[in-house]
Chain A
Amino acid sequence: MDQYPDEDEEFELRYQEELEMLDDLPPEGGEVFVHNTTINHNNTINSVNAVDTIDSPHLSQISGISVSTSTVVNRRLFGTPSGPHKRISSTPLATNKQRGALAPIEEVVALTPLPECEPLEEVNEPAVELQGMGLRNKRRLERDLFGDIDDLFQNETYEDPVAKKARTEEERDLEMIEKILETRRRLQENNKAVRKDDLSRLKALHEFKMRNLSYTVPQWPFQVLRRGDRERVFVRFHSEEYENHALEDVRAISQFDGLLGENKQRIWAEANDIVLKRASTPSQQQQAATVSATSSQESSQDEQLWVEKFKPRKYIDLLSDEATNRSLLYWLKMWDKMVFGREFKKKEEHNVNSTSNNLNTFNKRTGKFESNGGWRKRKFQSMLDTNLDEHGRPMQKVALLCGPPGLGKTTLAHTIARHAGYAVREINASDDRSPEAFKQALESGTQMSSVLNEDRRPNCIVLDEIDGAPRQSIEFLVKFVSDNVINKVRAKGKGKPERNLLKRPIICICNDIYEPALRPLRQIAFVVTFPPIETTRLTERLLQIAQREHLKTDFSALYAMSEKSGNDVRCCISTLQFFNAQKKALTLQDVLNANLGQKDRQQGLFDVWGAVFRIQRPRKQLEKSKLNDNTEDVEITMTDMSTSTRVRNVLDVVHGGGDYERLTQGVFENYLHQKMPDPNLTAVVEATKWFSFSDTVQHQINHLQNYTVYPYLQFGFAAWHLMFATLAWPKINFPSKGFEFRQKSTTQSNIFQAFRKGITTGMNGLGQGHVILVDTVPLLKRILSPQFRSVAVQLLSQRERDDLYHTVTVMADLGLTYTQVKAAEGSYVYQMEPDLDALAQFPGYPGIALNYFSRQLVAREVELERIRRSTPRLGAETSGKSATSNPTAAAKNATKNLPNHLQRLKAKQIENKNANAKKDVISKDFFGRIQHRTVGGTREDCKTDAIVKSPIWYRYKEGFNNAVRKDIHMHELL
């Protein structure tokens, strides 16, 4: 059979290290991640872990022959040297099955008393077991993980380096993507190609059995197993080299269903029975339940979801767009400097050898990777900032994956994070995401690493379904990411606030990137939009799964299914499993009848409008299958034309579209363009009734929050569809008129507001609110366009001057004026400010009939009028104040009424009075010469008077040319 026995001693020697480690560390379980990885690398575990569970993993390969196949395939592809290393690369498709098989047989093994056997409890439960193994092999796993990508890239470096240098980076990247795609293709081909030669396969199988199994005690090193019928089977141990050889051989026989052939099921059932018996001891009820669940596997209906089962485990398995994968991986790799550079130092003491090795190569690789990452320059440059900040982190510290459901965003995030050597910590919608809990999770995720489970990988936080998180949480995330969260604990200790530094990558996943709550995040995040998966690629994968699960189907059915589900991987696989459970073949008809893909998918607006205005043509024929030539063309109508179907379709689409208001507007602006035989406009009338109905309903919802009427909104679309839909492709324009109308209304109301603000008090005659717009403004425009000749003001006739004066006063009253602005053509025009011209202005109607010159004239006059109005008011105020009875105030006013210079002179006067008292004054004449003279008070008064009376004054030694001043009044200038 497919196992490769080896001498026990050899094993013990080989895995001495692990054994010792094992002894040191208490087994830990429960971490989901570990679980996953273990499954992922079952193969490795199998070979490695023989220590404790003897050879059960080897035995397990009995059922999962495909494992070996894929191992070979992968090895061939990557060209890695032999060793435990290569074995990790198993196809995920196989691993689960293998895992399923693993459990019961381990039980069997446990029966046989062997010294290395683990206590029964642990063996009993496959998950625990696997985890245990995962722990022990953690170190190895880590290297394997990195080894995988190493392979990917080493593959390239193996090519002649000279030529490689010559190529541009971009070419290299293209090639890289090509290569990955090629690898994938080969993987698939391999799976298919080998299947045919059954004969040789059987022969090889027989030979293999002869060589490796025996009912009597053989001469080669062996392992004893007990078959279901109590028969002892001796299974041969092989050396490592032999295994490699055998692997090469078995490659030829990849696609047969289990090494035991038809007997497999029976043996399987028996094995399970035994397990059941053993397990159902009273002390172990719990385990019995588990095992009985396992035993139900006999009908090949796993309790596990296929979606989980066939999840991509490896980077290479990913179905999503290669460029997307790469960009995300690149971003994650940019964290290496921060994450692993630091961790390297920390971990050095603990496990010196392997870890440091690992990280060294890893870092080196990173460097290499960065140097040849040319693809990002092409496509993702705009989105991904490739610079690192001062702490060695990428500039964008969060990646935001977005795309419709079922494309594998979560899978991608997990796979890539694992691939890059992180432990994934997922926070999804099922977790508490209140800001507090969020904070807790983020902080623990980024600043701690798990100590208990021996998994020393750094964390990578995956925030799944983030579009449902509360806004505060997202705001906190943004703050957290931009290092603005202050560490309070430390702040207390040191007395100085210290900013928290984000040291771990965070990947966010959302469906709708334009969710308002996500806006702050969107600005700082590296946004990766998920393109839809190609239908053919998905179909091929589905075909693989179907083959592996022995589900009878054909390419066309799967193709139809993937198309119908909108390339939703999850939906397709689940449907497959469902059909499988029904135990019947999946035909095209089934797919067409199935109710899949009818979920809430966000439809584009145009899709919805298209669906409203177009009758979908019945699709008679599906595409001829490209791969499976044996499928005949199937003639099936995909849609029927009955009214009920049409209505249902439209309702579905509209429902998916949401946003009824916008949709209604779109229909409203397009329905008149549709070709309709409607001479009496009956349909139009009907349609408009629906419009007014939906508006009424919408009003109810918006203004009264009466959401009970919401469901009725959608039926309008059905009505419009029935009235206006045609088979022809409709011309649909984006509804812009409603928007333009709103724009215009806003502009108008702004002008109107400005106009109303300018109106001086007491202009009550204009009216209130819309009355101004309706009655006053149109007439006002006429009133403000007087007729006069384009001459200077002085030359106008008396009547013209009166008209002008009237216009000017009205404009001044209303706070209107003309301002010169540059028109679009480059010429200057005088525009009313606020733009009364634009108010109540209809196309084709004259506005204010004034030419440029007249406007200029009016503008000037209005300015003057305004100045004129403002000056007397000041005078009136002061005079009003001076009229008050208070004598001191009056005195003050009097001083105020004096011109500036007099006030200062007065101050001097006081000085002079002091001097007067002494009767000895140093007075200066006009030119500043000192005049020694005793002056009498009267004389001095006279002197002041002389200065006061003159409107011109000066200041001595002012040093400016405006030292001589004169009061000028506004009216003198006008």
Chain B
Amino acid sequence: MALWVDKHRPRELSKLDYHKVQAENLRNLCQQGDFPHLMFYGPSGAGKKTRIMCLLRELYGAGVERLRNETMTFTTPSNRKVEVMTVGSNYHLEVNPSDAGIYDRVVVIDLIKQVAQTHQIDASGQREFKVIVLSEVDELTKDAQHALRRTMEKYVATCRIILSVNSTSRVIPAIRSRCLGIRVAAPNEEEITSVLQLTCKREGLTLPAELAARIVDKSEHNLRRALLMLEACKVQQYPFTGQQDIVELDWQVYLRETANQIVTEQTPAKLEKIRDRLYELLAQGVPPDMIFRGLVEQLVRNCDMSIKAKTLEYATLYEHRMQNGSKHIFHLEAFVAQFMNIYKKFISESMMMDDF
């Protein structure tokens, strides 16, 4: 637990740094020793998992923190072995079913049923139910989500399911309606700053307000990112200075450069180079929708107002198509080509105008 994100992570509901009202509500929720299925939703790095763990601790006590790793193997109908890593205690089980890729349905069916069907032998001194924590449920395929909905109802006596979701829009309504939604909003700037300052205080460091503000700015309201950045800054240079370099994410820089290249030159040859860069990004595991978003943000920043709207329009169009397809590169390239087209037209038109 040497990383600051883990080390200084609040373990109890009472010790949470922000959303204190919500924390109080959560505490009230499990006051009676029971709660419905929950769905925590909010952006990455907002503290969903922290709250889930705090809630579990509130419910089961410190035993929840004695975790163990397990690798479970599932056999798909097509006789393929799928390995999924789970983290669990005696009281709960954390799974990320989307690890199994397109076989996530098998995981949902097998694993969750298996856990849900086993009753607690010794009901005394324990809760009557186990908790299954499913992360990244919005990444699940529709099949898996549909497999989940019945399970949730059927085994409600023996298990509760806590879902951790980035965006509820990708969770089917059937599941949304079965859960109590708890929104974990991203912390605002002051909250992040205070967390950073608190962390530094615990570590015995002094953090200049300017640096803190810059980190907050760079972190895009992602507390995890902010803390990791702070730690990276500390490693790079300690006594902190207000102007010191903040470590940026490589892929963001790479993406920015890509966007700049698109703006500087619009030729098929360039398009091909861009394609290589996009391939690189995809291969490194950057999700295509994040690439889309990053590209659009950068492109829009660099172009004239008149084509901004168009750019956005096409971005949404191709992003939507991408969700319906499987080869992301096609759609990314289609967007880039489209932008090049718009941009070039715009440039040549403005040249004409200049001539007049």
Contact = CB atoms under 8 A, between A and B. Distances in A.
A831 to B, nearest CB: 18
Contact of A681 (B272, B283, B324, B344): B344
Interface stretch (B21-29, B144-152, B180-188, B222-230): B222-230
B49 interface: yes
A676 B267 CA distance: 11
Nearest to A842: B254
Nearest to B6: A765
Given A768-B135, A803-B235, A744 B283 contact: yes
A778 B219 CA distance: 13
Interface stretch (A386-394, A471-479, A780-788, A936-944): A780-788
Contacts of B321: 692, 695-696
Interface string B312-344: 000000100110111101110110011011001
B115 interface: no
Contacts of A813: 1-3, 6
A841 interface: yes
Contact of B235 (A696, A769, A782, A843): A782
B9 A769 contact: no
B45 A775 contact: yes
A91 to B, nearest CB: 57
A769 B96 contact: yes
B189 interface: no
A690 to B, nearest CB: 9
A682 B341 contact: yes
A200 to B, nearest CB: 73
A685 B337 contact: yes
Interface stretch (A110-118, A609-617, A754-762): A754-762
Interface string B96-108: 1011000000000
Interface in A745-765: 745, 748-749, 752, 756-757, 759-765
A768 B50 CA distance: 13
B194 to A, nearest CB: 18
B287 A770 contact: yes
Contacts of B157: none
A496 interface: no
Nearest to A693: B321
A254 B283 CA distance: 74
Interface residues of B, number: 79
Interface string A664-703: 0000100011001011111011011101101110110011
A177 interface: no
B325 A764 contact: no
A947 interface: no
A681 B337 contact: yes
- How many chain A residues sit at the interface, stated as a range, is 35 or more
Contact of A679 (B238, B327, B334, B344): B344
A894 B265 CA distance: 79
Contacts of A757: 69, 71, 85
A764 B232 CA distance: 18
A289 interface: no
B68 A692 contact: no
A437 interface: no
B271 A702 contact: no
Nearest to A845: B250
Contact of A684 (B224, B271, B331): B271
A745 B282 contact: yes
Contacts of A759: 69
B44 A771 contact: yes
A952 B222 CA distance: 59
Given A681-B337, A840-B250, A842-B250, A775 B271 contact: no
B136 interface: yes
B128 interface: no
Nearest to B71: A757
Contacts of A741: 279, 282-283, 329
B268 interface: yes
A779 interface: yes
A839 interface: yes
A624 interface: no
Which has the most chain A C-beta neighbours within 10 Å: B53, B222, B325? B325
Given A737-B276, A786-B235, A813-B1, 18 more contacts: A672-B268, A678-B268, A681-B344, A684-B340, A692-B321, A695-B326, A738-B329, A757-B85, A762-B1, A766-B3, A767-B45, A768-B49, A774-B285, A780-B3, A782-B232, A785-B235, A807-B235, A840-B250
8 contacts: A676-B268, A682-B341, A692-B334, A699-B326, A741-B283, A744-B283, A764-B6, A780-B3
Interface of A: 668, 672-673, 676, 678-682, 684-685, 687-689, 691-692, 694-696, 698-699, 702-703, 737-738, 740-741, 744-745, 748-749, 752, 756-757, 759-771, 773-776, 778-780, 782-783, 785-787, 799, 803, 806-807, 809-810, 812-813, 839-843, 845
Q: Which 6 A/B pairs are nearest by Cβ-Cβ distance?
A: A765-B5, A688-B334, A761-B67, A809-B2, A782-B232, A779-B228
